[in-house]
Amino acid sequence: MRIKNIVEQLIKIHNTNDPFKIAKEKNIIVLFADLGDTLGFYSTYKRFQFIHLNHNLSEEEQHFVCAHELGHAILHPKSNTPFLRENTLLSVEKLEVEANIFAVELLLPDDFIMQYQKSDLTIYHIAQMHSVPKELIYLKRI
C-alpha cells in the first residue's frame, strides 16, 4: 500500500499522472537513445537524475517504461538500476517489482478505472488504453 500512497500523492502534487511531465517537474532528465534490446534504465550522476529510454519503442511502450523508471527515481533514488530488458519486464527482483507496481498505479489510478465501471471494457482493455502491459495488470491494487 505504501507505493500506491506515494503515487497518489505524486499525482495530487503534480496534477497529472503523465510520467514525462512529472519527471520534467522533478528535474529528472529524460534521454532517448538507441539502446538495442534494452527498454530503458535509470541512473544518477552527481546530483542529476536520468531516465534513459529506447527511442525505438512505441509511444505506449515509452510511456510505460518512463513510468517504470520514474518509479526507480522516486522509490530508489540512490540506485543506478540495471537495464530493463524486454525479457526482464516480468522480473521478480524486488526493485523491479516495486518499479512495476509504481508504473501500474501511476498509469492506472483508481479513478481512471472507476470511469469505466458501467462499460463493457475489461481491466485488460482499460490497461491497454493507458499503456499498461496486460501481463502486469495483476499488480494493480484496487
- Residue 96 counted as domain residue: yes
- Residue 42 counted as domain residue: yes
**Higher pLDDT, residue 90 or 102:** 102
- Residue 104 counted as domain residue: yes
Count of structural domains, the chain: 1
Residues 11-22 have pLDDT tens digits of: 999 999 999 999
- Residue 142 counted as domain residue: no
- Which residue pairs from 134-139 have beta carbons closer than 8 angstroms and sit at least 24 positions apart in sequence? 135/89, 135/90, 136/89, 136/90, 136/100, 136/103, 136/104, 137/104, 139/97, 139/100, 139/101, 139/104
pLDDT band of 90, cuts 50, 70, 90: low
- Residue 92 counted as domain residue: yes
Q: Which of 69, 96, 98, 105 is catalytic?
A: 69
- Residue 23 counted as domain residue: yes
Parent domain of 62: 2-137
- Residue 81 counted as domain residue: yes
For position 24, which CATH number holds? 1.10.10.2910
pLDDT band of 93, cuts 50, 70, 90: confident
- Residue 86 counted as domain residue: yes
Q: Is 69 a catalytic residue?
A: yes
